[in-house]
Amino acid sequence: MRSDAMKKGIERAPHRSLFKAMGYTDAELNRPLIGVVNSFNEIVPGHIHLRTICEAAKAGIRAAGGTPVEFGCIGVCDGIAMNHTGMKYSLASRELIADSIETMATAHPFDGLLFIPNCDKIIPGMLMAAARINIPSVFISGGPMFAGRHRGKGADLITMFEGVGKVKTNKMTEKELCALEDEACPSCGSCSGLFTANSMNCLTEVVGLGLAGNGTIPAPMSARVRLAKSAGFAIMNCVKKNILPLDILTPKAFENALTMDMALGCSTNTVLHLPAIANECGIKIDLKKINGISDRTPNLVRLSPAGGHHMEDFHRAGGIQATLNLLASRGLIHKDCKTISGKTVWETCRNAAVLDATVIRPFDDPYMKVGGLAILWGNLAPNGSVVKKSAVAPENMERTGPARIFDSEPEAARAIYDGKIKKGDIIVVRYEGPKGGPGMQEMLTPTSAVSGMGLENDVALITDGRFSGGTRGAAIGHISPEAMEGGPIGLLKEDDMIHIDIPKFKIEVLLSDAELKRRAKAFKPREPKIKSGYLARYARMVSSADEGAILK
């Protein structure tokens, strides 16, 4: 056993004495030691219940003959961090999570790891760590929140952000907003739409590191507790059979994940996280390949913010396994990929069925004949950019308009709330990339303001930053290279005309090559916004968004 390095033999008597100081018995130490990485905290609604999930998982480990050893992990709540300096730390926390787990699991050589994530950066950070450490690993997420109800309609966190815009334009009173505030987020769990957290938990299930239901069983349901116990059994089976993350995280598994990404129309943040996880596996995801997968994969599911359904509806309709079965039936999924269950992807999903065709649509009646995400290219984004096209209205798929330029996200949000953005404008938010932010802030406040004020079908927003999975409208992010590195977005001037054509994967500024070169020669980046502490170090080391914003 790997854990023998810290517990077996006469030379490890001092080590055993330290275990015994904590109350571990010889019988417990003779079993496989399973590190249980629990991201519980009291600041993230997706994590507030993880003690319950953790205790269930540990019970499963003990019942299967192992000894669980729990340790903690940080987690940022993107919603609470939104639109202030805190959001700069969200993406950057992904690297801290991966590094700290690597430290803990290498300093203390466990026989396996059971990961308990929920919410945006915690899931990819843990997946990066699992690939890097490469010992038997199983994931059991905390699961999604139930959707809220307000005046007979579904509500969620995005309803709240858009409600602020409605108050600003006198479409809602402050009293109504306060009532909505009490009803939009009714339970523990990751926010109830197909935002980044739920996207990543679903894709963890697709690649095979989470059991069936990992992405969709609602957090408050007893089925989530039972799944946690099953995850405890699963990690012991992986230890026994030496099933390793790198046996599962293969190029085919990532292609399956991207295919599901298109079928669901997941968060654009998956285009940051999947390349970063793949990088830990020695695999490179070429952004150009994503559009090819999109071309052959119909968009079959539309959850909030793209549609009116929520995660609980998707779960009742059959969830990930039913969608996998549907995609596999058309030859779009690699059926032979391994999973932590010891079965192949096809063996796990072949008996799953779609139970509600209004939520998971059939192939002959998709929302779109192509996938939910698109990578756009052009002289404004030579290295690519990303848009959640399933959340873009048909009339906004192609647009040409004047640039309204802002050098920070709060500056753009103020201008929108103050009524300075008009129909036809293209809002440009720059110096919010991995280096320029630093930390690549999400743009949920300005995009929600645009939607709340009724402009989502009349303007576009482009940025070298990124968007929340809850964003809808023509919101194009990850423009690379970013402004801080001298990318074309940093060369733009007020009223420059920008052309966007999502169906043709194009984003361009209508300037000649000669003019862009002239501006590039005179370009000087802004001074760094943060010059000390972790974010200053992060800015010096982080790669561009098209590479997954990984540290080098």
Residues involved in catalysis: 468
Return d(Cα 252, Cα 12) in angstroms, integer. Answer: 42
| Residue found under tokens 């939607």 | 451
Dihedral pair phi/psi, residue 475, rounded to 5°: -110, 110
The alpha carbon of residue 193 and the mean position of all alpha carbons in its chain are separated, in whole angstroms, by 12
Dihedral pair phi/psi, residue 185, rounded to 5°: -125, 85
DSSP bridge partners of 476: 387, 462
Q: Containing H/E element for 464?
A: none
The alpha carbon of residue 265 and the mean position of all alpha carbons in its chain are separated, in whole angstroms, by 12
Residues belonging to the chain: 552
User: Which DSSP string corresponds to 71-85?
Assistant: EE-----HHHHTTSG
**Nearest 10 degrees: CA dihedral of 281, 286, 291, 295?**
-60
Return d(Cα 449, Cα 452) in angstroms, integer. Answer: 5
Return d(Cα 433, Cα 464) in angstroms, integer. Answer: 5
CB 266 within 8 A of CB 91: no
SS (H, E, C) 386-407: EECHHHCCHHHCEEEEEEEEEC
Dihedral pair phi/psi, residue 67, rounded to 5°: -120, 115
Residue 37 in 3-state DSSP? strand
Dihedral pair phi/psi, residue 9, rounded to 5°: 95, 165
CB 273 within 8 A of CB 97: no
Residue 358 has a CB neighbour count (10 Å cut-off) of: 9
DSSP bridge partners of 303: 309
Residue 532 has a CB neighbour count (10 Å cut-off) of: 8
Q: Are strands 497-501 and 506-509 parallel, antiparallel or unpaired?
A: antiparallel
Residue from 266, 231, 426, 257 nearest 340 by CA = 231
- End-to-end Cα distance, the chain: 33
Residue 289 in 3-state DSSP? helix
